[in-house]
Amino acid sequence: MIHFGTGGWRAIIADEFTKANVRLLAAGLSKLMLSEGLAGCEVCVGYDRRFLSKEAAHWACEVLAGYGFHPVVVRRSSPTPLIMFTVKQRNTPYGLAVTASHNPAIYNGIKVFTVGGRDADATVTAKIEEKIREVDPENIPSVDYDTALAQGQIQEFYPFNAYIDSILQFVDVDKIKNSGLRIAVDPMYGVSQTCLRTILMTCRCDVDVINEQHDTLFGGRMPAPSADALKNLSNYVVDNHCNLGIATDGDADRLGVIDENGRYVPANTLLVLLYYYLHAYRGWKGPCVRNNSTTCLLDRVAESFGEVCYEVPVGFKYISAKMAETNAIIGGESSGGLAVRGHIAGKDGIYSAALLVEMLAVTGKSVSQLYQEIQDKYGVLYYADDAFTMTNSRKAELQDGLFVRKIVPDFGNTVDHVSREDGCKVYFADGSWVICRFSGTEPLLRMAAESGHEGQAEAYIRTWKEALGL
């Protein structure tokens, strides 16, 4: 069964990610568009470097063409933000990206975008799921890809220049040109290398790229820019005296950073750094948005500028929606996704990376120096997280405990209130917090916590683990 989570539809290849299911999803979307009076419109389609991504994009296009639509296909593997940008630029009502983002190599999936290049929200994906149930799998209309391409019903193009130019117009190219920065880039065998190299070299940075070859197994590691996955990048930065190391996940919508000392910079820190920089050094005005598992240090920074930091559930569709509603400068999440006002309404690891490089050039300070500046002003918060693999039966048991029996253990601190809007989040009177929630993209139970006291966040997680028998 096709079910959309927080980051689109993702499934294990040859299990649920199959040609038949890709065709079902495309048929469901086609039926939805017909019901909305969009017959014959363009649909932007792109794909990443995962196993079967290009083939799956073509399968989807064949069905879209069979229903009378006109797919416009990015003809090379591309970053998801480039596809979102193209949906916005061409003003197509819907778009598709074949990707499983940062999931393990055994996964693939499809993200759906709506007008303006936004992540499809829960209302839209629920409608697609409803339409899928109406589809007869044995009678799905389709047109052979090459035939439709030759007849002009399918169009291939490559909007690389437009996307690159859109980023370069937002950053201070001249400042970067005069900075003499050396940057190491790790695309993690994904799709960012061409875009990042082009942007950085246009800005006259000295650029070194590692792990750029096509490898559908991602070098045997998760294509997620975590501390463990970026040890090679860390060593490279130190050994080659780089000012910064930049990594992106499999589809380049998430960002990971190594500072000048070879230390991993958590996504929470990146979000705070960029918001602080855009306010304090660039003079931007506006609030910020974070999800309920992301640092509250962002709240302190916002308050100091007379702004509000809005909290939303996990899932970037919630962040982008709140950003649009409030004209926020930036929105982000602890998993590495960032969006900045003025570009696309979604995560873009490439644009975020360009802004970080600009930050170093404009301030003349290193990442560690700037973050020390922030901590000196706003104090230190200690963050911890963990994740646990679950079977379906174990998930049902945990759901019963969290949401039916409503287990809340004794954390040894005064509870202010508890929210179950997205998982179970406990807010304490001293401003610390702990959350326990199910991943929307993998069979995992995730926990995160934050406190102003060293060691307390880890203690909160240990208490949850004991209460749930993990």
As given in the structure block, the two tokens for residue 174 are 């001249």
Name every residue whose Cβ is closer than 8 Å to that of residue 265 and which is 6 or more positions away in sequence.
Answer: 256, 257, 258, 259, 273, 367, 371
| 104 three-class SS | coil
**Does 5 score more than 90 pLDDT?**
no
**pLDDT of the residue at 440:** 79
Q: What is the band of 123 on the pLDDT scale with cuts at 50, 70, 90? A: very high
As given in the structure block, the two tokens for residue 303 are 């308050």
Report domain extents, the chain. Answer: 9-159, 180-378, 382-468
The Cα–Cα gap between 118 and 324 comes to 10
Same fold, 9-159 and 382-468: no
Q: What secondary structure letter does DSSP report for 186?
A: E
**Does 6 score more than 80 pLDDT?**
no
Q: What is the band of 317 on the pLDDT scale with cuts at 50, 70, 90? A: confident
The Cα–Cα gap between 191 and 100 comes to 13
For residue 286, is it left (φ>0), alpha (ψ between -120 and 50) or beta?
Answer: left
As given in the structure block, the two tokens for residue 397 are 């048991």
CA 399 to chain centre: 26
Would you say the pTM of this structure is higher than 0.85?
yes
The Cα–Cα gap between 225 and 266 comes to 10
What's the rounded mean pLDDT across residues 200-215?
95
Nearest to 127 by CA among 114, 142, 141: 114
Architecture of domain 382-468: 2-Layer Sandwich (3.30)
**pLDDT of the residue at 400:** 85
**Does 143 score more than 80 pLDDT?**
yes
The Cα–Cα gap between 385 and 314 comes to 15
CA dihedral of 144, 145, 148, 154, whole degrees rounded to 10: 150
- Please tell me the CATH superfamily of domain 180-378, with its number: Alpha-D-Glucose-1,6-Bisphosphate, subunit A, domain 3 (3.40.120.10)
DSSP 320-368: HHHHHHHT-SEEE-TTSBEEETTS-SS--HHHHHHHHHHHHHHH---HH
CB 425 within 8 A of CB 411: no
Give the model confidence (pLDDT) of 382-415 as tens digits: 999 999 898 888 888 888 888 888 889 999 999 9
**pLDDT of the residue at 220:** 87
Name every residue whose Cβ is closer than 8 Å to that of residue 215 and which is 6 or more positions away in sequence.
Answer: 189
The Cα–Cα gap between 200 and 173 comes to 9
Sequence-distant contacts of 241-244: CB under 8 A, at least 24 apart: 241/182, 242/182, 242/183, 242/184, 242/208, 243/181, 243/182, 243/183, 243/360, 243/366, 244/181, 244/183, 244/184, 244/356, 244/357, 244/360, 244/367
Q: Which fold has domain 9-159?
A: Alpha-D-Glucose-1,6-Bisphosphate; Chain A, domain 3 (3.40.120)
Give the model confidence (pLDDT) of 157-206 as tens digits: 999 999 999 999 999 999 999 999 999 999 999 999 999 999 999 999 99
For the chain, the C-alpha Rg in angstroms (whole number) is 22
The Cα–Cα gap between 19 and 332 comes to 33
Give the model confidence (pLDDT) of 259-313 as tens digits: 999 999 999 999 999 999 999 999 999 999 999 999 999 999 999 999 999 999 9
| 254 three-class SS | strand
The Cα–Cα gap between 352 and 265 comes to 14
The Cα–Cα gap between 94 and 113 comes to 5
